[in-house]
Protein backbone atom coordinates (compact mmCIF):
# COMPACT_ATOMS: atom_id res chain seq x y z
CA UNK A 1 0.00 0.00 0.00
CA UNK A 2 2.82 2.38 0.85
CA UNK A 3 4.52 1.68 -2.50
CA UNK A 4 1.23 2.39 -4.27
CA UNK A 5 0.89 5.76 -2.49
CA UNK A 6 4.45 6.72 -3.43
CA UNK A 7 3.84 5.64 -7.02
CA UNK A 8 0.67 7.73 -7.21
CA UNK A 9 2.46 10.77 -5.78
CA UNK A 10 5.26 10.47 -8.35
CA UNK A 11 2.72 10.07 -11.15
CA UNK A 12 0.94 13.26 -10.05
CA UNK A 13 4.25 15.13 -10.02
CA UNK A 14 5.06 13.96 -13.54
CA UNK A 15 1.65 14.94 -14.90
CA UNK A 16 0.98 18.15 -12.97
CA UNK A 17 4.39 19.72 -13.18
CA UNK A 18 5.01 19.64 -16.92
CA UNK A 19 3.71 23.00 -18.11
CA UNK A 20 5.38 26.35 -18.06
CA UNK A 21 4.90 29.69 -19.75
CA UNK A 22 8.52 30.35 -20.71
CA UNK A 23 9.84 30.06 -24.26
CA UNK A 24 12.43 27.92 -25.99
CA UNK A 25 15.89 29.52 -26.05
CA UNK A 26 15.80 29.94 -29.85
CA UNK A 27 13.01 32.52 -29.43
CA UNK A 28 15.17 34.76 -27.22
CA UNK A 29 18.65 34.01 -28.59
CA UNK A 30 18.79 37.25 -30.61
CA UNK A 31 17.65 39.23 -27.59
CA UNK A 32 20.71 38.05 -25.62
CA UNK A 33 22.91 39.76 -28.22
CA UNK A 34 20.92 42.93 -28.91
CA UNK A 35 19.84 44.09 -25.45
CA UNK A 36 21.60 45.01 -22.23
CA UNK A 37 20.42 45.42 -18.66
CA UNK A 38 18.47 42.16 -18.65
CA UNK A 39 18.61 38.85 -16.85
CA UNK A 40 18.05 35.65 -18.82
CA UNK A 41 16.84 32.76 -16.70
CA UNK A 42 16.59 29.25 -18.09
CA UNK A 43 15.84 25.67 -17.08
CA UNK A 44 18.58 23.37 -18.22
CA UNK A 45 17.57 20.84 -20.89
CA UNK A 46 17.94 17.50 -19.15
CA UNK A 47 16.18 14.17 -18.91
CA UNK A 48 15.66 14.18 -15.14
CA UNK A 49 13.25 16.73 -13.74
CA UNK A 50 11.27 17.18 -16.94
CA UNK A 51 8.01 16.95 -15.04
CA UNK A 52 8.94 19.60 -12.48
CA UNK A 53 7.93 23.22 -13.06
CA UNK A 54 9.42 26.12 -11.14
CA UNK A 55 8.12 29.62 -10.53
CA UNK A 56 10.70 32.32 -11.24
CA UNK A 57 10.64 35.57 -9.29
CA UNK A 58 12.83 38.63 -9.78
CA UNK A 59 13.04 40.90 -6.76
CA UNK A 60 9.89 39.32 -5.31
CA UNK A 61 7.86 39.75 -8.51
CA UNK A 62 6.71 36.58 -10.34
CA UNK A 63 7.87 36.62 -13.98
CA UNK A 64 7.30 33.07 -15.27
CA UNK A 65 6.75 29.39 -14.58
CA UNK A 66 9.42 27.38 -16.37
CA UNK A 67 9.34 23.77 -17.49
CA UNK A 68 12.44 21.88 -18.65
CA UNK A 69 14.24 23.64 -21.51
CA UNK A 70 12.32 26.93 -21.19
CA UNK A 71 13.73 30.42 -20.71
CA UNK A 72 12.54 33.89 -19.76
CA UNK A 73 14.07 37.36 -19.69
CA UNK A 74 13.39 40.46 -17.65
CA UNK A 75 14.99 43.85 -17.09
CA UNK A 76 17.14 44.11 -13.97
CA UNK A 77 17.55 47.04 -11.63
CA UNK A 78 21.00 48.60 -11.27
CA UNK A 79 22.68 47.00 -8.25
CA UNK A 80 21.64 43.87 -6.38
CA UNK A 81 18.78 41.77 -7.74
CA UNK A 82 17.40 38.54 -6.29
CA UNK A 83 16.32 35.66 -8.54
CA UNK A 84 14.19 33.22 -6.53
CA UNK A 85 13.17 29.80 -7.82
CA UNK A 86 10.13 28.22 -6.17
CA UNK A 87 9.10 24.64 -6.99
CA UNK A 88 5.56 24.65 -8.37
CA UNK A 89 2.73 22.24 -7.66
CA UNK A 90 3.49 18.90 -6.04
CA UNK A 91 7.26 19.47 -6.44
CA UNK A 92 6.98 22.02 -3.61
CA UNK A 93 6.52 19.07 -1.24
CA UNK A 94 9.92 17.66 -2.21
CA UNK A 95 12.18 20.53 -3.31
CA UNK A 96 13.25 23.69 -1.45
CA UNK A 97 13.06 27.27 -2.72
CA UNK A 98 16.44 28.51 -3.97
CA UNK A 99 17.76 31.94 -4.82
CA UNK A 100 20.79 33.68 -6.27
CA UNK A 101 21.81 37.32 -6.00
CA UNK A 102 23.05 39.04 -9.14
CA UNK A 103 24.41 42.52 -9.80
CA UNK A 104 22.36 44.26 -12.47
CA UNK A 105 23.78 46.94 -14.75
CA UNK A 106 22.41 48.85 -17.73
CA UNK A 107 25.53 47.85 -19.71
CA UNK A 108 25.55 44.07 -19.29
CA UNK A 109 23.23 41.07 -19.21
CA UNK A 110 23.13 38.40 -16.52
CA UNK A 111 22.48 34.70 -17.12
CA UNK A 112 21.00 32.33 -14.53
CA UNK A 113 20.71 28.56 -14.94
CA UNK A 114 18.26 26.32 -13.09
CA UNK A 115 19.12 22.63 -12.76
CA UNK A 116 17.08 19.92 -11.07
CA UNK A 117 19.61 17.65 -9.33
CA UNK A 118 19.70 14.06 -10.55
CA UNK A 119 18.71 12.51 -7.23
CA UNK A 120 15.35 10.78 -6.91
CA UNK A 121 12.57 13.04 -5.63
CA UNK A 122 12.26 12.68 -1.88
CA UNK A 123 15.75 11.21 -1.58
CA UNK A 124 18.07 14.19 -1.59
CA UNK A 125 17.01 15.91 -4.80
CA UNK A 126 17.58 19.63 -5.01
CA UNK A 127 17.19 22.50 -7.40
CA UNK A 128 20.43 24.36 -8.11
CA UNK A 129 20.46 27.96 -9.28
CA UNK A 130 23.70 29.50 -10.54
CA UNK A 131 24.80 32.60 -12.37
CA UNK A 132 26.78 31.77 -15.50
CA UNK A 133 28.00 33.30 -18.75
CA UNK A 134 26.16 33.55 -22.06
CA UNK A 135 27.95 30.65 -23.77
CA UNK A 136 27.29 28.13 -20.98
CA UNK A 137 23.69 29.40 -20.73
CA UNK A 138 23.09 28.94 -24.48
CA UNK A 139 24.65 25.47 -24.42
CA UNK A 140 22.68 24.27 -21.38
CA UNK A 141 19.28 25.73 -22.33
CA UNK A 142 19.48 25.87 -26.10
CA UNK A 143 19.71 22.17 -26.80
Range of the domain at 125: 2-141
Given a cut of 60, whether residue 13 has pLDDT beyond it is: no
**Mean pLDDT across the chain, nearest whole number?**
80
pTM over 0.85: no
Count up the domains in the chain and report the number: 1
- The better pLDDT of the pair 33, 139 is held by 139
Max CA distance (Å), the chain: 58
pLDDT at residue number 24: 66
Sign of the alpha-carbon dihedral angle for 19, 47, 143, 129: positive
Looking at residue 128, which CATH number applies to its domain? 2.60.40
Q: What is the mean pLDDT of residues 67-94?
A: 90
> At 32, is the pLDDT very low, low, confident or very high (cuts 50, 70, 90)?
confident
Given a cut of 50, whether residue 7 has pLDDT beyond it is: no
> At 14, is the pLDDT very low, low, confident or very high (cuts 50, 70, 90)?
very low
Amino acid sequence: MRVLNLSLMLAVIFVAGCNGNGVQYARIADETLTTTGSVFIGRESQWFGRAISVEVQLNGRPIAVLAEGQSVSSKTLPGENVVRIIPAGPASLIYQTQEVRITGSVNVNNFVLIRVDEALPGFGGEIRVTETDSKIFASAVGT
